[in-house]
Amino acid sequence: MTRRVVISGRGAISCLGNDVAAIGEALRAGRSGIRHMPEWEALSFGCHVSGQPDPWEHSLGEFGVKKREVTPLSGAGRMGLVAALQAIAEAGLEPDQLKALRSSCVVGCGVSDPPSMHDAYEKIQAGRVRRVSPLTIVRCMSNAVSAAVTSVIPVSGLNLTLGSACATGAHAIGMAFDLIRHGAADIAICGGAEWADVGLSGTFDAMRGVLAAGFNDRPEQASRPFDVDRSGFVLSSGSGMLILEARDEALERGVEPHGEILGWGFSSDGHHITQPDPEGRGAAACMTAAMHDAGVSKVDYINAHGTSTQPGDAAELRAIRKVFGDDVPPISSTKSLGGHAVAAAGALEAIHCTEMLGRGFLAPNVNLARLDDEFTGMPVIGDLQDVVPEIVMSNSFGFGGTNATLILRR
């Protein structure tokens, strides 16, 4: 017997806003959060634009988190904690209530605190190992974000960190969904966080052709998924956290869910360490598996992975066409507005989907002037659509050929 699973709380920090309501308003307005980065230009990066949130750390104090609790945390950990606290509040819970429940935490990150690692490396190389912060390990360890979240919001069950590049956030949601529907937990914190500081950004910039470099003088136009002139993705920082809960328990608490997870799918391309299978075979298998798991034969909208790279966007559209044939639903990529938050992307975009489901709109794929000739006629929407979707799909495909697709219902 399996149980229905709903989203009872959401929290988010991104360049589109520092809470879910602000992000939803930006999506509906088609308002980009991508800005010029003078430091990157001064350092001779090829890409001079990024999506960085407005100041948000004051929120920790507003939630009552003590300074001694914050000090050991990584940058991504602090960001993830704020989003988790927002989600707990929206779910109508207090942080200390989860430990008394059958609760779990499944979250992930890419690189949790690049500055701490860089600072430690420089001191060690200079023979000053005694000057290295004793907090370096806890800020840089692979489970730094889940440790940060559960140090303030303790859970009683599985406390797991995932790392699957750009698919991390979606994988975390899918695994938390499985825990609850199969009875291993009643409630779970899930999502991802990414802190794209100048160091991490520089390593991406070194991968020629990965980051957008063609619109440095027009930051808001730099992220242009599916457009023929796309030149790479725009890196962003952010965190998205969701509270998933068994539907019956949530309704018993009087919670008004923000959507339901119907199912999910996963696959591996087994093709290349950075590039997807050009025909989108892994992506198609992932979407097909998700629809089978959800028990649906069609969806009303696809929130595409759509990062704005030449090979990735083309492979995804080929995969969508393979899965849906002549009945392709409307498609857009919210990365056109908020950039690519890597490990946080899948969770942020699931939250974007809940805003579309709840507010009754489809977010525009901005900066779309012309599709590749191969995809002429495919329904990638460049403008806001005032429709009320019932069932939506959200794709996340990562380096290493790791894929995840979520199916959500209003």
Separation between Cα atoms, residue 331 and residue 379, nearest integer Å: 6
Q: Which of 48, 171, 258, 305 is catalytic?
A: 305
- Contacts of residue 252, defined as CB under 8 A and 6 or more positions apart, other chains included, come to none
Q: Which of 324, 301, 297 is nearest to 387 (CA)?
A: 301
Is residue 301 a contact partner of residue 356, using CB atoms and an 8 Å limit? yes
Q: Which of 15, 105, 109, 166 is catalytic?
A: 166
Sign, CA dihedral 239-235-40-113, equals positive
In order of 41, 58, 63, the CA distances from 236 in angstroms are 16, 20, 25
Residue type present at position 369: A
Is residue 209 a contact partner of residue 215, using CB atoms and an 8 Å limit? no
Does 340 qualify as catalytic in the annotation?
A: yes
Q: Is 8 helix (H, G, I), strand (E, B) or coil?
A: strand
Does 118 qualify as catalytic in the annotation?
A: no
Q: Which of 171, 258, 340, 352 is catalytic?
A: 340
7: region left, alpha or beta (phi > 0 left; psi from -120 to 50 alpha): beta
Does 292 qualify as catalytic in the annotation?
A: no
Question: Which letter does DSSP use for residue 343 in this model?
Answer: G
In order of 72, 83, 317, 355, the CA distances from 346 in angstroms are 26, 14, 18, 14
Q: What does 352-400 look like in DSSP terms, one character per residue?
A: HHHHHHHHT-B---TT-S-B-GGGTT--B--S-B----SEEEEEEEETT
Q: What does 156-176 look like in DSSP terms, one character per residue?
A: SS-EEEE--GGGHHHHHHHHH
Residue type present at position 31: R
Is residue 116 a contact partner of residue 47, using CB atoms and an 8 Å limit? no
Q: What does 272-289 look like in DSSP terms, one character per residue?
A: -SSSPPTT-HHHHHHHHH
Q: In terms of DSSP H, where are the helices of 63-208?
A: 67-70, 75-90, 114-125, 136-140, 144-152, 168-181, 198-205
13: region left, alpha or beta (phi > 0 left; psi from -120 to 50 alpha): beta
Active site residues: 166, 305, 340
